[in-house]
């Protein structure tokens, strides 16, 4: 009998037949979702011998929702994710410039999914532009609700921009030009602390060695500089027996004490090149919204691109896992694109559920298909001797490895 996931005494209660909502997505979303669903179902069947299964429940967002309901993001969709706790989605359309607000951002804010978690690790055989992609194994915790992505901005020469400019120039002695669009960047103590707390808990539970706070606090002293300070303070007050800061290392003989996690920080632009040149020195990264956006994409580029990059938006309990790339509308319905990002996001989802056996089967099956050079066009064009297959054929290759 299918059952909803619920929270009891601070823990997720998940039956052997949970109901999990899905949004198939726009553009290539339906293609990669069909592939992902088949792979997940096969892995769950194999791992648990039919004792466990997922009851999939479609919910609407994006173009399909607009065509059927007249709304890009129906209230029922948000309510369904709240009700069922865990969900998964394909990519959704967001026009640049005018039009409706980003559905992805709206979902994160409406559901208070404050941590965008992006694990980045190389799968052997995947083409990479760097010499040693095997050195990349990071998990990025990006703050998801604040910073300049909060969406507080006014168009240049609008009445609202005029009011904001007058206040800033007259009351705050700023010098904002008349033809400027204006946006607000804010970072709060509470949001910074809960992100750092989640990152440190993850590092402890998964045997990670370091947590790096990434910020531009040398310039934005009262937003990103405060983010750094609040993260350090949280680490020292709540995890005192489990961490050591980089500044404290000299007193420890420059060696990290056994069983402790080192907490350090890096300026964001420096971190960008560090991630390229010395990735093995970084493990868990915690950072404000914009920094996390470009760092996670840059890290993904080192291991094969966004087609191989999973992601999850996670709050205290509610979690929405997603493909991290765009909709690629020119390939819609062609059964062509790489479903790896959504498949690996489903792996994250299964791990979050505690179904690690099924998650491992998918990871191993994906790695085997790639090692055999049975891949979609994006990887095939970079691999000598590869056999190019469709989206659904790639999923079938993974399933054959699983079963």
Alpha-carbon span 198 to 143, nearest angstrom: 11
Q: Extract the annotated binding site for NADP(+).
A: 93, 325-331, 338, 377, 381
Long-range contacts of 240-247 (CB under 8 A, 24+ apart): 242/200, 242/204, 243/200, 243/211
CA distances from 310 to 249, 342, 345, 396 (A): 34, 6, 4, 20
Q: Extract the annotated binding site for Mg(2+).
A: 293
Q: How far is CA 29 from the centre of its chain?
A: 17
Alpha-carbon span 61 to 69, nearest angstrom: 10
CB distance 121 to 140 below 8 Å: no
CB distance 12 to 5 below 8 Å: yes
CA distances from 94 to 51, 91, 100, 152 (A): 40, 10, 7, 17
Alpha-carbon span 357 to 36, nearest angstrom: 17
Q: Extract the annotated binding site for D-threo-isocitrate.
A: 102, 104, 108, 118, 142
Alpha-carbon span 288 to 92, nearest angstrom: 23
The catalytic site residues sit at 149, 216, 269, 293
Q: Extract the annotated binding site.
A: 93, 102, 104, 108, 118, 142, 293, 325-331, 338, 377, 381
Identify the three-state secondary structure at position 11.
strand
User: What is residue 246's DSSP assignment?
Assistant: G
What number of residues does the chain have?
403
Alpha-carbon span 257 to 129, nearest angstrom: 35
């Amino acid at each position: 009998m299918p059952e909803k996931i619920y929270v009891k005494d601070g823990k997720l209660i998940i039956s052997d037949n949970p109901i999990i909502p899905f949004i198939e997505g726009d553009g290539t979303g339906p293609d990669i979702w069909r592939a992902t669903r088949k792979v997940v179902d096969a892995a769950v069947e194999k791992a648990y011998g039919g004792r466990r299964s997922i009851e999939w429940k479609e919910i609407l967002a994006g173009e399909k929702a607009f065509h059927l309901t007249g709304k890009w993001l129906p209230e029922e969709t948000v309510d369904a994710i709240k009700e069922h706790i865990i969900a998964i989605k394909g990519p959704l359309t967001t026009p640049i410039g005018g039009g409706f607000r980003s559905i992805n951002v709206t979902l994160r804010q409406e559901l208070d999914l404050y941590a965008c978690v992006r694990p980045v690790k190389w799968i052997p055989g995947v083409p990479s532009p760097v010499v040693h992609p095997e050195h990349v194994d990071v998990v990025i915790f990006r703050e998801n609700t604040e910073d300049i992505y909060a969406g507080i901005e006014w168009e240049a020469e609008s009445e609202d921009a005029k009011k904001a400019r007058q206040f800033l120039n007259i009351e705050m002695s700023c010098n904002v030009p008349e033809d400027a669009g204006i946006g607000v960047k804010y970072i709060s103590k509470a949001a910074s602390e809960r992100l750092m707390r989640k990152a440190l808990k993850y590092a402890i539970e998964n045997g990670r060695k370091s947590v790096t706070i990434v910020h531009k606090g040398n310039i934005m002293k009262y937003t990103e500089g405060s983010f750094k300070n609040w993260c350090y303070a949280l680490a020292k007050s709540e995890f005192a027996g489990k961490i050591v800061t980089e500044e404290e290392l000299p007193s420890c003989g420059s060696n990290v004490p056994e069983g402790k996690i080192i907490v350090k920080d890096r300026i964001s632009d420096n971190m960008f090149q560090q991630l390229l040149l010395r990735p093995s020195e970084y493990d868990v990264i915690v950072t404000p919204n914009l920094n996390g956006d470009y760092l996670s994409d840059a890290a993904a580029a080192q291991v094969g691109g966004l087609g191989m990059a999973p992601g999850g938006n996670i709050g205290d309990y509610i979690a929405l896992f997603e493909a991290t790339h765009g909709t690629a509308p020119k390939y819609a319905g062609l059964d062509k694109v790489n479903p790896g990002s959504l498949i690996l996001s489903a792996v994250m989802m299964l791990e979050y559920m505690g179904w690690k056996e099924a998650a491992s089967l998918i990871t191993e099956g994906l790695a085997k298909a790639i090692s055999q050079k049975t891949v979609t066009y994006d990887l095939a064009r970079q691999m000598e001797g590869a056999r190019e297959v469709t989206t659904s054929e790639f999923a079938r290759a993974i399933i054959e490895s699983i079963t």
